[in-house]
């Protein structure tokens, strides 16, 4: 865990109390955005309808998979206009997560294992949901979503705050779920390597095998968590579009 500390590379003076220094995590964020841009651009460079070659086919398969889950959530033409946002979100989170598997501990880590990064991503999704709500239903219509008409006041009084809280907690759980999965993956890997370092020579292979399996599970978790974040973003957008 000591090798995964954030290292400040270019200390910039704080602007309005916010520290804007460039750390190695900032560079990794930019690298992930660059990789997302380059990969998605390269996959669409040839304008054929049918993708050719392995790379285009893989990206096309992933895009089709995501679009099937999106269009099934937000059915209709409105779903198509959101697919670029959802796809970018998915690929960005996927590449951020996958960078955590590169074994250069003092330079490269999964940027999404920083709570600020996942909070930023969840805040974007949350703001998008609020913006859709206010644009489609107005502020009053948005607030009316938390109240079911025709219920007695002694049921509505506890129900409305509970609905509000359960709606406000959605971006929090979105951020924490992604953060916890990535951070805990690192920690468990360090735990297994620690076991391997302190065990006797005849027992060393067992924790090492555990570390290898843990890395494989980490790869699985990277994909799954990117997919879960994306599908929850699509569900929140669909919930925002629905009129109560």
Partner 1 sequence: MTSEAWAWLGAGIAVGLAALGTGIGIGILGGKSVEAAARQPEASATVQRLMILAIAFIEALCLYALLIAIMLVGKGKETPTAAVEPVQSQQMSP
- Quote the least distance from Cβ 122 to partner 1, whole Å: 13
Q: Is 170 a binder of partner 1 (CB under 8 A)?
A: no
Q: Is 190 a binder of partner 1 (CB under 8 A)?
A: no
Which residue number, 219 or 231, has a Cβ lying nearer to partner 1? 231
Candidate list 187, 194, 198, 244; residue touching partner 1; CB under 8 A: 187
Residue 214, classified by CB atoms within 10 Å of its CB into exposed (0-12), middle (13-18) or buried (19+), is middle
Looking at 100-108, 119-127, 156-164, 178-186, which segment touches partner 1 (CB under 8 A)? 178-186
Which residue number, 142 or 179, has a Cβ lying nearer to partner 1? 179
Residue 153, classified by CB atoms within 10 Å of its CB into exposed (0-12), middle (13-18) or buried (19+), is exposed
Candidate list 87, 183, 189, 211; residue touching partner 1; CB under 8 A: 183
- Quote the least distance from Cβ 109 to partner 1, whole Å: 16
Which residue number, 44 or 224, has a Cβ lying nearer to partner 1? 224
Helix (H, G, I), strand (E, B) or coil at 46: coil
Helix (H, G, I), strand (E, B) or coil at 120: helix
Candidate list 176, 193, 219, 241; residue touching partner 1; CB under 8 A: 176
DSSP string, 185-230: HHHHHHHHHHHHHHS-GGGTHHHHHHHHHHHHHHHHHHHHHHHHHH
Which residue number, 7 or 72, has a Cβ lying nearer to partner 1? 72
Which run of H or E residues covers position 142? Answer: helix 115-144
Cβ within 8 Å of residue 162, ≥6 positions away = none
Helix (H, G, I), strand (E, B) or coil at 88: helix
Q: Is 101 a binder of partner 1 (CB under 8 A)?
A: no
Candidate list 74, 118, 225, 230; residue touching partner 1; CB under 8 A: 225
Q: What are phi and psi of 8, to 5 degrees?
A: -80, 125
Candidate list 124, 134, 184, 219; residue touching partner 1; CB under 8 A: 184
Q: Is 219 a binder of partner 1 (CB under 8 A)?
A: no
Number of shown-chain residues binding partner 1 (CB under 8 A):
13
Number of neighbouring beta carbons within 10 Å of residue 95: 21
Q: Is 74 a binder of partner 1 (CB under 8 A)?
A: no
Q: Is 224 a binder of partner 1 (CB under 8 A)?
A: yes
Give the torsion sign (CA, 111, 114, 120, 126).
positive
Binding site for partner 1 (CB under 8 A): 173, 176-177, 180-181, 183-184, 187, 224-225, 227-228, 231
């Amino acid at each position: 865990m000591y090798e995964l500390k954030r290292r400040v590379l270019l200390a910039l003076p704080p602007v309005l109390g916010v520290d804007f220094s460039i750390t190695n995590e900032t560079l990794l964020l930019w690298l992930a955005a660059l990789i997302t841009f380059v990969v998605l651009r390269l996959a669409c460079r040839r304008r054929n309808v049918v993708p050719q070659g392995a790379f285009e086919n893989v990206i096309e398969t992933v895009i089709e998979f995501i679009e099937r889950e999106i269009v099934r959530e937000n059915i209709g033409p409105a779903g198509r206009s959101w697919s670029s946002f959802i796809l970018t979100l998915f690929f960005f989170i996927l590449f951020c997560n996958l960078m955590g598997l590169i074994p250069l501990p003092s330079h490269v880590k999964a940027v999404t294992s920083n709570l600020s990064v996942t909070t930023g991503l969840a805040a974007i999704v949350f703001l998008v949901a609020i913006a859709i709500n206010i644009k489609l239903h107005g502020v009053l219509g948005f607030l009316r979503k938390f109240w079911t008409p025709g219920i007695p006041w002694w049921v509505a009084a506890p129900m409305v705050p509970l609905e509000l809280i359960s709606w406000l907690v959605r971006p929090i759980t979105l951020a924490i779920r992604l953060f916890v999965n990535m951070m805990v993956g690192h920690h468990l890997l360090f735990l297994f390597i620690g076991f391997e370092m302190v065990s006797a020579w005849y027992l060393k292979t067992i924790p090492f095998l555990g570390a290898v399996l843990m890395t494989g599970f980490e790869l699985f978790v990277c994909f799954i968590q990117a997919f879960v974040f994306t599908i929850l973003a699509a569900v929140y957008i669909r919930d925002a579009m629905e009129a109560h």
